[in-house]
Structure 1
């Protein structure tokens, strides 16, 4: 019946189960508490809204960038885990960023039209990703949304709500058609409000350009858009779907997901058009709640997770959010997050076009703290699936099903994910089959699980596994001659602007890397320094030289970046060294921090370089000495020890179209080992080897700093050793709370640590930080890894 506004009744009957004291281990004469029992009446004739699917977002921004550069075998495995039906997350919608050459969270996505009238439908990697998704699931739905826009819009005024933007979106729609992609949904400007008349004009443009079937989503922000739709018939007619962001709250547990009465009364589909922003593992419980509770609380019929995958470098702010983590394309290393499996508990058992059964959806025991459940039925009203989550339950409980109304009363299959387990073998498991008796059956529900009870078949769990992590070795070079999977060169990820391989200028043959955005884009982020730059490589690099040939197309300043470390959220700063060189010959050695405070360490003026000619520039970082060269001549140096390690990069300090070629990274001399204690930012405490033991598995703990031999560590090339043993993450764990210990050094990524400028130590394999639980100062407190949070309990001073 579509998305009509219907009363939401949930027939949830509570019944007290008999307490069997002996079975529960109660003492004689003491009656144990009765477990909660919930009756779920699954009647195929009961109403409910149309399910619009569960999806995820590629964009906002750059979070999918590294996926295209993975080795083909691992790249295909990751794509299967995302999109292949009956395999992994089995995503049903893919929301794509419409690139605007500007940072939109963790990177900038290239526009199809850097300058007005010059459209290149192959720019970027979103088309490639969409084609890969469609190849795996021909029924997947696509949704386009802009975070920013190229600077030529409205003659550079910065006004998004113009006819130029609509024309730009129509060009993007045309590009989608050239890639044989159907765009099912189109939005306006991500989280930046709305203009009612603009949306009306957008609807007219879609119709006039032959895209009348594409539905408009507004406003990818909050519920206020529903208020204007309720009072403005023309605006209401133009908008097909109300899309809101984070209706369950932002970066929380997603226990409550309301909409508004006004929104529900519109008779339009309501969507959580962006939700998530959660760690691929630690955030899985929140996602499990939200997928169910969006509908129960707010009548939302689609959940779209941000982002689709964490295929971005670990020094960026949201580096572990998504379905999976894939941040090492050179080794092929990846990890499938538990968010994949809580998503699969819905997507593998119900398809868009199915209908919810309102009366078979609600809260266990009528109490949201016990968990939630939703039931969906197939269009032919034969099959059904009930998805249950018990994230907050503290004891087992019983669900009793009563099936009728033409739905199958045959065998049901039970799949479950135990989110209390760190073992992948306990995630998305076919646990049992149940044969109902006259349509009735019961299921025991354990705390911390997601269950699906279904009459459908065809589900599965992917079996591909990741290779081991490995460093990206030096030397490394890129001449930009070999085509990459996308228009970005291999491993480079843009933070602002658009760096693309094109035919070289200045009389040079072949292809070079050019910064393509010729004017400041309409921005989404608000960083104080928004110049174009692109970064690449391994954050563990320490001493090395970065060099490149450069061509000034106009009067401007280019830069080489080195020891690129932590980036501030939404590009609001960067820990890095910069060698900046102008066409006038002016140069400077600078360092920046995560607030974009820039300190000039040395500067001067060399012979003017001019425009239209090629020159070679290099930055050498050897221990605390920084050296600048232009055309093979040392022009200056500086001493600074702020950053010991990090990636490399290229940039232009303004929106000019300069070129780069022959990018090279040459290793320097390894830094000497440092020996001494590791002190905590919590006063008087040190990292300690329990009992000064050299036995594998020895606990690593916190202890009063006493100068004992058990507190002497050696720091060298990313490893911490004591008595010949390495600081090791137990079992190669990658989840919060995994303990650290001593183990034979084996070069594994779980024994590699990257110091951050804020004093934290980030594990190479996990991306998590060495952590003192709850900031404890009690002697013997075991150390672990945990999400990096800048707390004093994660700050350490190395030898």
Structure 2
């Protein structure tokens, strides 16, 4: 992934919302993004039939498998904290052969204590020479993948590095700062290989620095170090970036060419698009080395299924790429983060065990359950149906036994049924053919990964009818299957909640805490306290992958629907600086470039302040004062109470100040250190506030600039339309009261007409009656979810026309679904 290129996804869009999706991406993208494929021309009429000859004597490149990425960063964090049996069910859907996605490669991040998209991955060596091979959860995940599929390949890559790496390297262009292309980094990677060995994990592939170019001399030294340290069997992938310039240089430089085993490109089919056209270069192909889409995807677990289906075939057809690696493997992250729906499945509630298997799982399974790394593409049995890209694509591969074969066909853009006629020759099996299919136009999971029929070839030939919007697998193999595990329903994380950090979690991170920068680990307490405490472990600012203006360490946890509560924790300073508790943590901007939250900060000097941060890391001091300096190595208690708009700070049990602010009405909690100090926390406690006192009054601005929620005509009549209108602070029609889940105007409640639960149902005002269709739950991304429908308050088509009546629609986090409560 490329930090500046990561933009908020707009999953779940329909045709009526295509315009706003396009506008959003155009406004958010940067020039360096790989150009998306041009819009396809109108689909040609589907041909009556496409003839496909599957010839065992045909030539083609060797298939290297389909995989996914855990890292870049923090996207798997919540999975490890799931209860059983749900945790194993999710893992089975990802890795177990013949059950779900059946992934063939797992790419994991080599942690560096720094944010790498939606979180920070822990380093195994925060301080030079101090090694802890049990840091983080990537080892655990890789072990779980291997346990389910011993043949799975492990691929490792660094996004960042701890702050000591390369500081004193003679080639460092910024002395005193960490430097990646250094001997320190090579030593750091060799040490990481040692940890992998302790976890009995052979590393099949390794890269350099994610999306940060390449250094030829470094790669040559790195290759030599791998060989010298007994890792000659590990293949080097490079440059894990957005262009093929490395391939050009490899063709000119024999030493560099020898150091790189696989050329890995990111998003060769475009970024956040349909992935209908993919690219490489003649020079890259001419190297006669494997070419990979070493990162692809970045798409919603459901709506990304069709682009992934295209790319799985077209990577090879268009560009001769033999491996597809999806980012990420699972969306096991909190929903306030930017890419919280991307992956193969969603796992965002470890406390309830709820999860969902994304449609992309089955899109991938249509390839992985019918092929294996080492199979060979048959170039003459691949192409576009009827010679037209809009009709769909097909590839065919044969097994090493030169008998079994599989053909994978996608008809994502077809508009009518068509026929494929297969002729099998060249020594391949002419026995029974099994047909499996997934209807990606359907929202019914029963239509995914279905064994449709068996066909018996006649004289080596058979025909198959192909419907639009499907992925088909035609195979002589058996052993495929579809998991049947189902999750429990979603439920909030109830308060009160506490963590003394005494009960061991699965990893060194406490349950439910997700680090955004730095590394928070349970250790023996300092300051004369016995037992276990939470310590921020990174002593210096890391070599960063993101570029946020404030990269202070913090960790978050909990439920975004929490409104009134107190967050408190004991804290101890190991060095001069400040620590903090965070409350009402909601939306985080792209790559941690800001956070909507309240902070209570205490300095080792005794200065305290209640601070509000926003999505650009602007900080506003709401209240401040001074207490007796806590000094170092003594314990003190911070407590921030949020009751309606009133924020109250207490230190060591004494109220020291308060403030009034209407910016954030709900959100999670967290802990932080305002610099890279190794300070400690203990006795984290969340106490619910009073159910009342959450009544705020004012405007409700839309995410669309300059537009507000409005009562048509400022009417108190039942049925008065809830509309969008240009914000006017003097207009009484725009004065709303947020009161315990209800939005009220002139004593009437924002109401879903007829208690409708289908997308597109209009919203008006009605006499407050306590109905679920009048209850709204603020979400961390700024959306308002209807309690009855589970759909979000929505401005149709992201219209900016005054008078547009609002509705409910599938929640997708778009700007037209974001509202700032009064």
Is the TM-score greater than 0.5?
yes
Kept in 2, the 8 Å contact 1:739–1:785? The answer is no
Separation in structure 1 between the aligned mates of residue 472 and residue 717 of structure 2, nearest angstrom: 44
Residue 789 (structure 1) shift:
2.4
Q: Is 1:402 paired with 2:427?
A: no
Separation in structure 2 between the aligned mates of residue 125 and residue 586 of structure 1, nearest angstrom: 36
Separation in structure 2 between the aligned mates of residue 740 and residue 399 of structure 1, nearest angstrom: 45
Kept in 2, the 8 Å contact 1:754–1:764? The answer is no
Q: Is 1:40 paired with 2:13?
A: no
Quick one: which of 776, 790, 794 aligns to 1:771? 794
Q: Is 1:754 paired with 2:791?
A: no
Separation in structure 2 between the aligned mates of residue 140 and residue 395 of structure 1, nearest angstrom: 38
Aligned position for 1:124: 136
Aligned position for 1:166: 186
Q: Secondary structure at the match of 1:293?
A: helix
Kept in 2, the 8 Å contact 1:701–1:783? The answer is no
Q: Secondary structure at the match of 2:204?
A: strand
Q: Secondary structure at the match of 1:183?
A: coil
The 3 A distance-change label for structure 1 pair 784 and 174 is same
Quick one: which of 215, 219, 230 aligns to 2:239? 219
Within 5 Å, give how 1:30-69 maps onto structure 2.
35-69=47-81
Separation in structure 1 between the aligned mates of residue 232 and residue 717 of structure 2, nearest angstrom: 72
The 3 A distance-change label for structure 1 pair 746 and 74 is farther
Alignment deviations for residues 749-784 of structure 1 (CA, whole Å, 9 cap, x no partner): 997632568x63257999975333323568777531
Alignment deviations for residues 146-171 of structure 1 (CA, whole Å, 9 cap, x no partner): 00000011235221001110111011
Residue 731 (structure 1) shift:
10
Separation in structure 1 between the aligned mates of residue 123 and residue 771 of structure 2, nearest angstrom: 41
Residue 72 (structure 1) shift:
1.5
Corresponding residue pairs, total? 752
Aligned position for 1:590: 611
Alignment deviations for residues 484-528 of structure 1 (CA, whole Å, 9 cap, x no partner): 011100000000000000011111111100000001100000000
The 3 A distance-change label for structure 1 pair 674 and 113 is closer
The 3 A distance-change label for structure 1 pair 57 and 599 is same
Residue 398 (structure 1) shift:
1.1
Within 5 Å, give how 1:620-639 maps onto structure 2.
620-639=641-660
Kept in 1, the 8 Å contact 2:418–2:466? The answer is yes
Separation in structure 1 between the aligned mates of residue 790 and residue 142 of structure 2, nearest angstrom: 28
Aligned position for 2:393: 372
Separation in structure 1 between the aligned mates of residue 92 and residue 773 of structure 2, nearest angstrom: 25
Q: Secondary structure at the match of 1:635?
A: strand
Quick one: which of 773, 783, 796 aligns to 2:808? 783
Within 5 Å, give how 1:500-511 maps onto structure 2.
500-511=521-532
Separation in structure 1 between the aligned mates of residue 276 and residue 774 of structure 2, nearest angstrom: 34
Separation in structure 1 between the aligned mates of residue 769 and residue 392 of structure 2, nearest angstrom: 44
Separation in structure 2 between the aligned mates of residue 55 and residue 730 of structure 1, nearest angstrom: 43
Residue 414 (structure 1) shift:
1.0
The TM-score with structure 1 as length reference comes to 0.88
Within 5 Å, give how 1:337-348 maps onto structure 2.
337-348=358-369
Separation in structure 1 between the aligned mates of residue 235 and residue 445 of structure 2, nearest angstrom: 39
Residue 466 (structure 1) shift:
1.0
Alignment deviations for residues 297-337 of structure 1 (CA, whole Å, 9 cap, x no partner): 11000000000000000000000000001111100111110
Aligned position for 1:191: 211
Separation in structure 2 between the aligned mates of residue 764 and residue 114 of structure 1, nearest angstrom: 44
Q: Secondary structure at the match of 1:286?
A: helix
Separation in structure 2 between the aligned mates of residue 108 and residue 99 of structure 1, nearest angstrom: 8
Q: Is 1:97 paired with 2:120?
A: no
Aligned position for 2:577: 556
Q: Secondary structure at the match of 1:153?
A: coil
The 3 A distance-change label for structure 1 pair 687 and 282 is farther
Aligned position for 1:24: none
Aligned position for 2:37: none
Quick one: which of 49, 61, 85 aligns to 1:73? 85
Kept in 2, the 8 Å contact 1:687–1:701? The answer is yes
The 3 A distance-change label for structure 1 pair 417 and 731 is farther
Within 5 Å, give how 1:7-22 maps onto structure 2.
none
Aligned position for 1:82: 94
Q: Is 1:436 paired with 2:457?
A: yes
Which segment drifts farther, 490-499 or 759-768?
759-768
Separation in structure 2 between the aligned mates of residue 750 and residue 230 of structure 1, nearest angstrom: 65
Separation in structure 2 between the aligned mates of residue 621 and residue 738 of structure 1, nearest angstrom: 35
The 3 A distance-change label for structure 1 pair 724 and 462 is farther
Separation in structure 1 between the aligned mates of residue 73 and residue 528 of structure 2, nearest angstrom: 35
Kept in 1, the 8 Å contact 2:104–2:368? The answer is yes
The 3 A distance-change label for structure 1 pair 732 and 159 is farther
Residue 787 (structure 1) shift:
2.0
Residue 798 (structure 1) shift:
5.7
Q: Secondary structure at the match of 1:78?
A: helix
The 3 A distance-change label for structure 1 pair 781 and 664 is closer
Aligned position for 1:297: 318
Aligned position for 2:202: 182
Quick one: which of 290, 293, 311 aligns to 2:332? 311
Separation in structure 2 between the aligned mates of residue 652 and residue 684 of structure 1, nearest angstrom: 37
Quick one: which of 552, 565, 584 aligns to 1:544? 565
Q: Secondary structure at the match of 1:545?
A: strand
Residue 444 (structure 1) shift:
1.1
Kept in 1, the 8 Å contact 2:663–2:821? The answer is no
The TM-score with structure 2 as length reference comes to 0.86
Separation in structure 2 between the aligned mates of residue 750 and residue 115 of structure 1, nearest angstrom: 54
Q: Secondary structure at the match of 1:235?
A: helix
Any stretches of 5+ residues in structure 1 without a counterpart? 1-31, 706-710
Quick one: which of 409, 415, 422 aligns to 2:436? 415
Kept in 2, the 8 Å contact 1:469–1:748? The answer is no
Quick one: which of 208, 222, 230 aligns to 1:210? 230
Aligned position for 1:14: none
Alignment deviations for residues 23-60 of structure 1 (CA, whole Å, 9 cap, x no partner): xxxxxxxxx97744211111011011100000000000
Q: Secondary structure at the match of 1:369?
A: helix
Q: Secondary structure at the match of 2:624?
A: strand
For the aligned residue pairs, the C-alpha RMSD in angstroms reads 3.2
Aligned position for 2:161: 149
Q: Is 1:114 paired with 2:121?
A: no
Aligned position for 1:266: 287
The 3 A distance-change label for structure 1 pair 723 and 685 is closer
Q: Secondary structure at the match of 2:68?
A: strand
Separation in structure 2 between the aligned mates of residue 201 and residue 381 of structure 1, nearest angstrom: 40
Alignment deviations for residues 269-303 of structure 1 (CA, whole Å, 9 cap, x no partner): 00000000000011111111111110001100000
Kept in 2, the 8 Å contact 1:754–1:763? The answer is no
Q: Is 1:572 paired with 2:606?
A: no
Separation in structure 1 between the aligned mates of residue 788 and residue 506 of structure 2, nearest angstrom: 25
Aligned position for 2:492: 471
